[in-house]
Structures are given as structure tokens and as C-alpha cells.
Amino acid sequence: MKTTIIRTAAILAMGTATAAMANVPIVGGAPMPATNNIVENAVQADNLTTLVAAVQAADLVDVLASEGPFTVFAPVNDAFAALPEGTVDTLLQPENKDMLTKILTSHVVAEDLSAETIIARTKHSTDGFYHFNAVSGDALSAQVKGGNVYIYDESGNAAMVTTANVDQANGVVHVINGVLLPK
């Protein structure tokens, strides 16, 4: 009887843990618990390794692990790979830290912006775009097309949000398929 109760309790606990994990978004094959900060989650994602290396090279780890709140538009590895050959290697060199920091901070907003908030703000705009600024000071715009959210940099280049609303302890991450470049 005692063994049955223990087994039943273990099965119930596993079921509860599985149900809780079902609500945790997966990015790059790794669960992204909302109790972790942006950095703690990003280092777990196989598809964000280039972004993590860039954040480390720019000495932005402490900033993105701080209280926030932040919204991060996180480019996947393929987005960095689509840049002209040698760009990432050049940016990761110590002498290019200022340029790398400018690019990375153009992906960060000092506000917790859910996809629903971004979509609502596009609907209430006169031109169909939600215009806002990144931490870098660069202008960003969001637009909804075909049910997808696109983020535009100052040059008009668009990156589509592929995974939205990855809540973090210090904000939210939206995974994107492009790199936003400041002018």
C-alpha cells in the first residue's frame, strides 16, 4: 500500500512537471523558463550561439542579466550567417567592440513589449506601423503582415518574428530571422 502511494505521488508529480514544462517555450531545442533572465536562457539555445558570443564580446552580459525590463529581438545563427562573409568575425574582434555594441543594442528596447502589445500599437497607428526606439537610440518599426510581426531597422530591412513572447525574469525575447542594422 505504501509503495503504491509513493508511486502514485511520483506519477502525479511527473505529470505536474510535464504540464508545467508544456507552458515553457522552446528556443533552439532548450526550454526557456520565465524564471531565468535573458542571458541565462539565451546560453541554452542552440540557435542563438552567435548572438551569445556577440553579447559576450561586447561586454553586454551584465546589462542583459540586470533587472530590466527589456525586449530583445534575438537574431538566430542563420540571420548572422546571412550577413556578408566575414562580417561576424570582423565584428567580434576587440577593435570593433563599439560597432558591435551599437548593432546589438539596436535589438534591445528598454520596455517589456509583448507581441500583443506591439500588434495593438500597430493597429492604433495612422500608418500601420508602430514606431519606437532601441536602447542604441536607433529607430525601429513594427508591422503586421499576413499574421506575422516584422521588425524594421532604420534602413527598412525587415526581420520576421519567428518565436514571440519568450518571457524572461527581466523582460521578453522575440526570436527573429534577420539582423537589424543601424544606419
What pLDDT sits at residue 23? Answer: 84
Task: Identify the structural domains of the chain with CATH numbers, from first to last.
Answer: 25-176 (2.30.180.10)
Amino acid occupying residue 77: N
Provide the whole-model pTM: 0.87
Q: What crossing angle do the helices spanning 97-105 and 49-57 adopt, rounded to 10°?
A: 130
pLDDT digits (tens, 9 = 90+) for 34-81: 999 999 999 999 999 999 999 999 999 999 999 999 999 999 999 999
What pLDDT sits at residue 42? Answer: 97
Our CA angle for 57, 139, 25, nearest 5°, is: 60
In the predicted model, is pLDDT for residue 102 greater than 50? yes
